[in-house]
Amino acid sequence: MTAPVPATYTVDPWDPGYGVARGDEPGGPESSARLELDLELKAADWKPVDPQVVPLPGSVLFLDGVQRIDARVWRHGDGPEPDPGVLASVAVGLVRCDGAAEIVDVAVDRGLFAETGEDIITRHARYAFHHAPGGLDKLVLGVTRRMSELEVTLANAWREHSDVEDDLLVVDGPLRGRTHLARTVGYVKTHQKSYLQREQAAVVADLAPGQRSPVFGMGTSWERKSWYLRLPGSSSAPWSAIVRLECSAELSTPDAVALADITARVLPRLASVPHKDPRAPQNLVPIGGLERQLRHRLGDAALLYRSLRSAMAA
Protein backbone atom coordinates (compact mmCIF):
# COMPACT_ATOMS: atom_id res chain seq x y z
CA MET A 1 0.00 0.00 0.00
CA THR A 2 1.38 3.37 -1.02
CA ALA A 3 1.93 5.79 1.85
CA PRO A 4 0.14 9.16 1.58
CA VAL A 5 2.22 12.04 0.32
CA PRO A 6 3.01 14.53 3.13
CA ALA A 7 1.31 17.87 2.54
CA THR A 8 3.44 20.83 1.56
CA TYR A 9 2.52 24.47 1.03
CA THR A 10 3.39 27.10 -1.54
CA VAL A 11 2.94 30.80 -0.81
CA ASP A 12 1.18 32.53 -3.68
CA PRO A 13 3.27 35.56 -4.75
CA TRP A 14 0.14 37.45 -5.81
CA ASP A 15 -0.49 40.47 -3.58
CA PRO A 16 -2.91 39.19 -0.89
CA GLY A 17 -4.68 42.55 -0.88
CA TYR A 18 -6.23 41.71 -4.25
CA GLY A 19 -9.17 39.41 -4.74
CA VAL A 20 -10.63 39.93 -1.27
CA ALA A 21 -14.41 39.74 -1.02
CA ARG A 22 -15.95 42.82 0.56
CA GLY A 23 -19.45 43.93 1.42
CA ASP A 24 -22.21 42.45 3.52
CA GLU A 25 -24.36 40.93 0.80
CA PRO A 26 -23.69 40.24 -2.88
CA GLY A 27 -25.56 41.91 -5.68
CA GLY A 28 -26.01 45.28 -7.32
CA PRO A 29 -27.14 48.62 -5.90
CA GLU A 30 -30.85 47.77 -6.12
CA SER A 31 -31.92 45.58 -3.23
CA SER A 32 -34.58 42.89 -3.21
CA ALA A 33 -34.94 43.16 0.58
CA ARG A 34 -38.37 42.54 2.08
CA LEU A 35 -39.46 45.78 3.72
CA GLU A 36 -42.00 46.44 6.46
CA LEU A 37 -42.32 50.21 6.39
CA ASP A 38 -45.37 50.62 8.65
CA LEU A 39 -43.79 49.76 12.00
CA GLU A 40 -43.36 53.16 13.66
CA LEU A 41 -45.29 55.28 11.14
CA LYS A 42 -47.40 54.34 8.16
CA ALA A 43 -45.32 54.35 5.00
CA ALA A 44 -47.41 57.20 3.58
CA ASP A 45 -46.79 59.26 6.76
CA TRP A 46 -43.00 58.93 6.88
CA LYS A 47 -41.22 62.13 7.97
CA PRO A 48 -37.96 63.05 9.74
CA VAL A 49 -38.13 62.09 13.41
CA ASP A 50 -36.74 64.20 16.25
CA PRO A 51 -35.60 61.79 18.97
CA GLN A 52 -37.61 61.77 22.19
CA VAL A 53 -35.94 62.45 25.52
CA VAL A 54 -35.07 58.98 26.79
CA PRO A 55 -32.87 57.66 29.63
CA LEU A 56 -29.32 57.42 28.32
CA PRO A 57 -27.18 54.30 28.90
CA GLY A 58 -24.69 54.16 31.74
CA SER A 59 -21.93 53.59 29.21
CA VAL A 60 -21.60 53.11 25.47
CA LEU A 61 -19.46 50.26 24.16
CA PHE A 62 -18.01 50.20 20.65
CA LEU A 63 -17.02 46.82 19.21
CA ASP A 64 -14.92 46.60 16.08
CA GLY A 65 -12.48 44.32 14.32
CA VAL A 66 -9.93 44.48 11.52
CA GLN A 67 -8.63 41.68 9.35
CA ARG A 68 -5.69 41.32 7.03
CA ILE A 69 -4.82 38.60 4.54
CA ASP A 70 -1.15 37.88 5.27
CA ALA A 71 -0.74 35.42 2.39
CA ARG A 72 -2.59 33.15 0.02
CA VAL A 73 -1.27 29.61 -0.10
CA TRP A 74 -1.67 26.35 -1.97
CA ARG A 75 -1.65 23.02 -0.15
CA HIS A 76 -0.12 20.12 -2.11
CA GLY A 77 -1.26 16.69 -0.97
CA ASP A 78 -2.42 13.45 -2.56
CA GLY A 79 -4.72 15.08 -5.11
CA PRO A 80 -3.71 16.15 -8.62
CA GLU A 81 -4.52 19.80 -7.86
CA PRO A 82 -3.46 21.93 -4.88
CA ASP A 83 -6.06 23.21 -2.41
CA PRO A 84 -6.30 26.98 -1.86
CA GLY A 85 -6.03 28.64 1.54
CA VAL A 86 -5.62 32.06 3.08
CA LEU A 87 -3.50 32.97 6.06
CA ALA A 88 -5.06 35.86 7.93
CA SER A 89 -4.54 37.99 11.02
CA VAL A 90 -7.54 39.32 12.92
CA ALA A 91 -7.74 41.84 15.77
CA VAL A 92 -10.88 42.82 17.66
CA GLY A 93 -11.36 45.38 20.40
CA LEU A 94 -13.84 47.03 22.72
CA VAL A 95 -14.01 50.73 23.64
CA ARG A 96 -15.99 52.02 26.62
CA CYS A 97 -17.29 55.58 26.64
CA ASP A 98 -18.65 56.93 29.92
CA GLY A 99 -17.37 60.49 29.77
CA ALA A 100 -14.01 59.45 28.34
CA ALA A 101 -13.12 56.81 25.76
CA GLU A 102 -11.00 53.86 26.90
CA ILE A 103 -9.96 50.69 25.09
CA VAL A 104 -10.87 48.01 27.63
CA ASP A 105 -9.99 44.81 25.77
CA VAL A 106 -8.24 43.61 22.61
CA ALA A 107 -7.77 40.12 21.15
CA VAL A 108 -5.52 39.06 18.25
CA ASP A 109 -5.92 35.80 16.35
CA ARG A 110 -4.21 34.29 13.29
CA GLY A 111 -5.47 31.42 11.22
CA LEU A 112 -5.23 29.27 8.12
CA PHE A 113 -8.62 29.14 6.40
CA ALA A 114 -8.95 26.27 3.94
CA GLU A 115 -10.89 23.13 3.06
CA THR A 116 -8.13 20.94 4.52
CA GLY A 117 -5.00 21.69 6.45
CA GLU A 118 -3.25 21.89 9.78
CA ASP A 119 -1.78 24.57 12.01
CA ILE A 120 1.13 26.46 10.45
CA ILE A 121 3.88 27.59 12.79
CA THR A 122 6.45 30.18 11.78
CA ARG A 123 9.18 31.94 13.69
CA HIS A 124 6.89 34.86 14.56
CA ALA A 125 3.35 33.47 14.58
CA ARG A 126 1.09 30.44 14.76
CA TYR A 127 -1.78 30.17 12.29
CA ALA A 128 -4.46 27.80 13.64
CA PHE A 129 -6.36 25.79 11.04
CA HIS A 130 -10.04 26.72 10.48
CA HIS A 131 -12.17 24.69 8.10
CA ALA A 132 -13.56 27.01 5.41
CA PRO A 133 -14.73 25.56 2.07
CA GLY A 134 -14.67 27.45 -1.21
CA GLY A 135 -12.34 29.26 -3.56
CA LEU A 136 -9.87 31.94 -2.51
CA ASP A 137 -12.43 34.75 -2.46
CA LYS A 138 -14.97 32.69 -0.50
CA LEU A 139 -12.35 31.71 2.04
CA VAL A 140 -12.23 35.33 3.18
CA LEU A 141 -15.79 34.90 4.42
CA GLY A 142 -14.36 32.37 6.86
CA VAL A 143 -12.00 35.05 8.12
CA THR A 144 -14.92 37.43 8.61
CA ARG A 145 -16.89 34.77 10.51
CA ARG A 146 -13.92 34.16 12.78
CA MET A 147 -13.65 37.88 13.46
CA SER A 148 -17.36 38.00 14.34
CA GLU A 149 -16.93 35.07 16.74
CA LEU A 150 -14.07 36.86 18.51
CA GLU A 151 -16.10 40.06 18.76
CA VAL A 152 -19.01 38.25 20.41
CA THR A 153 -16.67 36.52 22.85
CA LEU A 154 -15.02 39.82 23.74
CA ALA A 155 -18.34 41.61 24.33
CA ASN A 156 -19.82 38.78 26.39
CA ALA A 157 -16.69 38.52 28.55
CA TRP A 158 -16.73 42.25 29.29
CA ARG A 159 -20.42 42.35 30.13
CA GLU A 160 -20.11 39.32 32.37
CA HIS A 161 -17.77 41.22 34.68
CA SER A 162 -19.10 44.76 34.19
CA ASP A 163 -21.18 46.47 36.86
CA VAL A 164 -23.10 48.52 34.23
CA GLU A 165 -26.40 46.84 33.40
CA ASP A 166 -27.83 49.49 31.05
CA ASP A 167 -24.98 49.86 28.57
CA LEU A 168 -25.41 50.22 24.81
CA LEU A 169 -23.22 48.11 22.54
CA VAL A 170 -22.51 49.54 19.08
CA VAL A 171 -21.11 46.98 16.63
CA ASP A 172 -19.25 48.53 13.71
CA GLY A 173 -20.88 47.00 10.64
CA PRO A 174 -23.99 44.88 10.10
CA LEU A 175 -25.41 42.98 13.07
CA ARG A 176 -25.59 39.64 11.26
CA GLY A 177 -24.59 36.79 13.56
CA ARG A 178 -24.76 39.05 16.61
CA THR A 179 -28.47 39.81 16.88
CA HIS A 180 -28.68 37.75 20.08
CA LEU A 181 -26.57 40.31 21.96
CA ALA A 182 -28.71 42.42 24.31
CA ARG A 183 -28.90 46.22 24.03
CA THR A 184 -26.95 46.08 20.78
CA VAL A 185 -27.12 47.91 17.44
CA GLY A 186 -25.22 47.47 14.20
CA TYR A 187 -23.67 50.63 12.76
CA VAL A 188 -23.41 50.69 8.95
CA LYS A 189 -21.32 53.58 7.57
CA THR A 190 -21.63 53.01 3.83
CA HIS A 191 -24.60 52.30 1.57
CA GLN A 192 -23.86 49.60 -0.99
CA LYS A 193 -27.53 49.02 -1.68
CA SER A 194 -30.66 51.14 -2.04
CA TYR A 195 -33.16 49.48 0.30
CA LEU A 196 -36.00 52.02 0.51
CA GLN A 197 -38.66 52.99 -1.96
CA ARG A 198 -38.41 56.42 -3.57
CA GLU A 199 -40.84 58.16 -1.20
CA GLN A 200 -39.11 56.92 1.95
CA ALA A 201 -35.64 57.55 0.51
CA ALA A 202 -36.64 61.18 0.01
CA VAL A 203 -37.40 61.42 3.73
CA VAL A 204 -33.91 60.18 4.55
CA ALA A 205 -32.43 62.80 2.22
CA ASP A 206 -34.37 65.50 4.12
CA LEU A 207 -33.04 64.54 7.57
CA ALA A 208 -31.35 67.31 9.54
CA PRO A 209 -28.32 66.51 11.72
CA GLY A 210 -29.53 64.54 14.74
CA GLN A 211 -32.78 63.46 13.10
CA ARG A 212 -33.58 59.88 12.18
CA SER A 213 -35.96 58.04 9.92
CA PRO A 214 -38.84 56.00 11.31
CA VAL A 215 -37.99 52.44 12.32
CA PHE A 216 -38.77 49.84 9.66
CA GLY A 217 -38.39 46.10 9.23
CA MET A 218 -36.01 44.60 6.70
CA GLY A 219 -35.39 41.03 5.61
CA THR A 220 -32.76 39.65 3.25
CA SER A 221 -30.96 36.45 4.18
CA TRP A 222 -31.72 37.49 7.77
CA GLU A 223 -34.25 39.70 9.58
CA ARG A 224 -33.72 42.93 11.51
CA LYS A 225 -35.26 46.28 12.36
CA SER A 226 -33.48 49.33 11.02
CA TRP A 227 -33.44 53.14 10.79
CA TYR A 228 -31.32 55.89 9.24
CA LEU A 229 -29.62 58.74 11.12
CA ARG A 230 -27.91 61.89 9.92
CA LEU A 231 -24.76 62.94 11.74
CA PRO A 232 -23.54 66.56 12.02
CA GLY A 233 -20.97 67.93 9.64
CA SER A 234 -22.71 66.96 6.41
CA SER A 235 -22.22 68.61 3.04
CA SER A 236 -24.99 69.65 0.69
CA ALA A 237 -25.25 66.13 -0.80
CA PRO A 238 -28.63 64.58 0.05
CA TRP A 239 -27.24 61.44 1.72
CA SER A 240 -24.07 62.97 3.14
CA ALA A 241 -23.38 61.92 6.77
CA ILE A 242 -26.20 59.35 6.69
CA VAL A 243 -25.63 56.11 8.58
CA ARG A 244 -27.93 53.12 8.98
CA LEU A 245 -28.47 51.35 12.27
CA GLU A 246 -30.08 47.99 12.89
CA CYS A 247 -31.22 45.90 15.84
CA SER A 248 -32.66 42.45 16.38
CA ALA A 249 -35.97 41.68 14.68
CA GLU A 250 -36.99 40.05 17.98
CA LEU A 251 -37.29 43.44 19.68
CA SER A 252 -40.80 44.86 19.89
CA THR A 253 -41.44 48.00 17.86
CA PRO A 254 -41.63 50.24 21.00
CA ASP A 255 -38.30 48.85 22.23
CA ALA A 256 -36.71 49.34 18.80
CA VAL A 257 -38.03 52.93 18.66
CA ALA A 258 -36.57 53.65 22.12
CA LEU A 259 -33.24 52.21 20.97
CA ALA A 260 -33.36 54.37 17.82
CA ASP A 261 -33.95 57.47 19.98
CA ILE A 262 -30.99 56.56 22.20
CA THR A 263 -28.67 56.26 19.18
CA ALA A 264 -29.89 59.61 17.85
CA ARG A 265 -29.09 61.20 21.22
CA VAL A 266 -25.71 59.57 21.74
CA LEU A 267 -23.95 59.00 18.41
CA PRO A 268 -24.03 62.48 16.76
CA ARG A 269 -21.85 63.93 19.49
CA LEU A 270 -19.20 61.32 18.68
CA ALA A 271 -18.99 62.12 14.95
CA SER A 272 -15.50 62.64 13.57
CA VAL A 273 -14.28 65.72 11.69
CA PRO A 274 -12.63 65.84 8.23
CA HIS A 275 -9.27 67.28 9.31
CA LYS A 276 -8.75 64.29 11.63
CA ASP A 277 -10.45 61.47 9.72
CA PRO A 278 -11.01 61.23 5.94
CA ARG A 279 -14.10 59.11 6.63
CA ALA A 280 -15.72 61.85 8.72
CA PRO A 281 -18.27 62.17 10.08
CA GLN A 282 -19.44 58.54 9.72
CA ASN A 283 -16.31 56.99 11.25
CA LEU A 284 -17.08 57.84 14.88
CA VAL A 285 -14.17 59.04 17.00
CA PRO A 286 -14.06 55.98 19.32
CA ILE A 287 -14.18 53.61 16.33
CA GLY A 288 -11.43 55.47 14.47
CA GLY A 289 -9.14 55.37 17.51
CA LEU A 290 -9.82 51.68 18.06
CA GLU A 291 -9.15 50.82 14.41
CA ARG A 292 -5.74 52.51 14.56
CA GLN A 293 -4.81 50.49 17.63
CA LEU A 294 -6.08 47.23 16.12
CA ARG A 295 -4.15 47.70 12.88
CA HIS A 296 -1.01 48.20 14.98
CA ARG A 297 -1.78 44.99 16.90
CA LEU A 298 -1.91 42.98 13.65
CA GLY A 299 1.87 43.19 13.53
CA ASP A 300 4.31 43.91 10.72
CA ALA A 301 2.87 42.42 7.51
CA ALA A 302 6.23 42.24 5.74
CA LEU A 303 7.89 40.48 8.68
CA LEU A 304 5.09 37.92 8.92
CA TYR A 305 5.20 37.32 5.17
CA ARG A 306 8.95 36.69 5.17
CA SER A 307 8.50 34.36 8.11
CA LEU A 308 5.83 32.44 6.21
CA ARG A 309 8.00 32.12 3.11
CA SER A 310 10.86 30.78 5.23
CA ALA A 311 8.60 28.26 6.98
CA MET A 312 7.18 27.02 3.67
CA ALA A 313 10.62 26.69 2.13
CA ALA A 314 11.78 24.63 5.10
Q: Band the pLDDT of 255: cuts 50, 70, 90.
A: very high
DSSP string, 40-109: SS-GGG---BPPPP-PPPS-EEEEEEEEEEEEEEEEE-SSSSPEEEEEEEEEEEEEEESSSEEEEEEEEE
pLDDT tens per residue across span 42-94:
999 999 999 999 999 999 999 999 999 999 998 887 777 888 999 999 999 99
Q: Band the pLDDT of 190: cuts 50, 70, 90.
A: confident
pLDDT tens per residue across span 35-44:
999 999 999 9
CB count within 10 Å of CB 98 equals 13
Determine the Cα–Cα distance for residues 261 and 268; give it in Å rounded to an integer: 12
pTM above 0.75, yes or no: yes
What burial class does residue 4 get, using C-beta atoms within 10 Å of its C-beta: 0-12 exposed, 13-18 middle, 19+ buried?
exposed
